[in-house]
Amino acid sequence: MRDGATALASGQSETTIEVALPERSYPVIIGENLIASAGRRMTAAVPDARCAVVSDRNVAAVYLTPLKASLDQHGLFLGEAVVSPGEASKSFSVLAPLCESLLALGVERGDCIIALGGGVVGDLAGFAASILRRGVRVVQMPTSLLAQVDSAIGGKTGIDTRLGKNLIGTFHQPSLVLADISVLSTLSPREFRAGYAEVVKYGLLGDAAFFAWLEQGSAEVFSGQGGKRRYAVETSARAKAKIVQEDERETSGTRALLNLGHTFGHALEAYAGYSDRLLHGEAIAIGMRLAFTFSVELGLCPKDDAERVERHLAAIGLPTKIAAVPGAKPTPEELLRLMAQDKKVKGSKLALVLVHGIGAAFVEREVPLSRLTQFLAEECNRR
């Protein structure tokens, strides 16, 4: 039933979604005030493990103390390593000293790293955990909407390079995901909007009814009223878990659907220098609109669907055009060069996630480059 209040009528204080994988299954727990009970939950999820917390300065200033107190109650806290906030921390220059710091804290093979933060911290800490002592356990405690509905679930970890986003990384599934939705109230409006783009993505790629629900209920998702925020997080997390279960390492193509808008978006992020000029979710909003418009031009998708997508993204304040990226605008050639670094490139052929309509995404592995070049030229000039 597409009603957040009804979905929560049972009065459950939390929801557990199981990511069922062979030998690597783990729960995603969604609820309020979970940080306060983190210590108790860690003893069940990672028995006998001491915990080193990785966070960024902004998140640590608010949530590290209560997390440390909860871990200390159970004798689990080993220490913390704090990095600078922002996409720039997903780099070799930050990864190396982070690993040194974790080793200096005394992290052993049987211990656990807790990633306390948004998508950047989750990707960076998860990658560090996957290579430290050839692999230690990791628990994701996402503090951003984007991380709670997407990046904290599924085991993808990594860092960026000047050639592209997430080009160096590993699959390293967490032992537990604790999504404390009470922390979302401290996000800035811009950060929340950016995360909301990933919520919209789940409707656009495979759940038209959920997208229609968001069109009607987005105001309550943003305000946090009536249980709709939690429902949006739960619905998105269930969709992510289902896809990960079907295609953990992106071998069958199912998981590639999660990249709707990402090939365009990652290129824009790289062009913007992984800076505050363009947040990840903002880039994905533009990318999803581009994917729908390109699908229309290829005769794959009804124009009305693309217009609905653009209208909804714009209505909640997300950018939809390349021209919205602050500063100098990219050329079609620059975007194509950056898109060619995408992880979905095989045999020098660019694959794109395109759509037959809202809720009907698919992977097109034979993208006509001449049409794509012409399309990007038009979009780069669109105001």
Annotated active-site residue 266? The verdict is yes
Classify residue 293 by burial, with Cβ atoms within 10 Å: 0-12, 13-18, 19+: buried
Annotated active-site residue 250? The verdict is yes
Annotated active-site residue 156? The verdict is yes
**Catalytic residue chosen out of the listed positions 165, 262, 308, 343:** 262
Say if residues 120 and 85 touch (Cβ distance below 8 Å).
Answer: yes
Annotated active-site residue 58? The verdict is no
Distance CA 240, CA 232 (A): 12
**Catalytic residue chosen out of the listed positions 50, 280, 289, 312:** 280
Annotated active-site residue 259? The verdict is yes
Nearest to 30 by CA among 10, 15, 42: 15
Annotated active-site residue 333? The verdict is no
Strand partners, 168: 159
Query: What tokens does 194 get?
Result: 């950016």
**Catalytic residue chosen out of the listed positions 228, 240, 308, 343:** 240
Annotated active-site residue 255? The verdict is yes
DSSP H helical ranges for the chain: 4-7, 38-45, 57-72, 92-105, 119-131, 145-146, 189-206, 208-223, 228-246, 262-271, 280-297, 303-315, 332-339, 369-380
**Catalytic residue chosen out of the listed positions 90, 201, 259, 344:** 259
**Catalytic residue chosen out of the listed positions 156, 172, 230, 343:** 156
Annotated active-site residue 166? The verdict is no
Q: How far is CA 254 from CA 208, 231, 333, in A?
A: 17, 24, 29
Say if residues 138 and 153 touch (Cβ distance below 8 Å).
Answer: no
Annotated active-site residue 33? The verdict is no
Q: How far is CA 304 from CA 89, 199, 296, in A?
A: 40, 21, 9
Distance CA 304, CA 289 (A): 12
**Catalytic residue chosen out of the listed positions 134, 346, 366, 383:** 134
**Catalytic residue chosen out of the listed positions 41, 50, 172, 266:** 266
**Catalytic residue chosen out of the listed positions 234, 248, 250, 379:** 250
Annotated active-site residue 134? The verdict is yes
Distance CA 234, CA 3 (A): 12
Q: Which long-range contacts (CB under 8 A, 24 or more apart) does 242-250 make?
A: 244/19, 244/21, 244/153, 244/154, 244/155, 245/19, 245/20, 245/21, 248/21, 248/24, 248/154, 248/155, 248/171, 248/173, 249/171
**Catalytic residue chosen out of the listed positions 50, 193, 255, 312:** 255
Task: Give the residue numbers marked as catalytic.
Answer: 134, 156, 198, 240, 250, 255, 259, 262, 266, 280
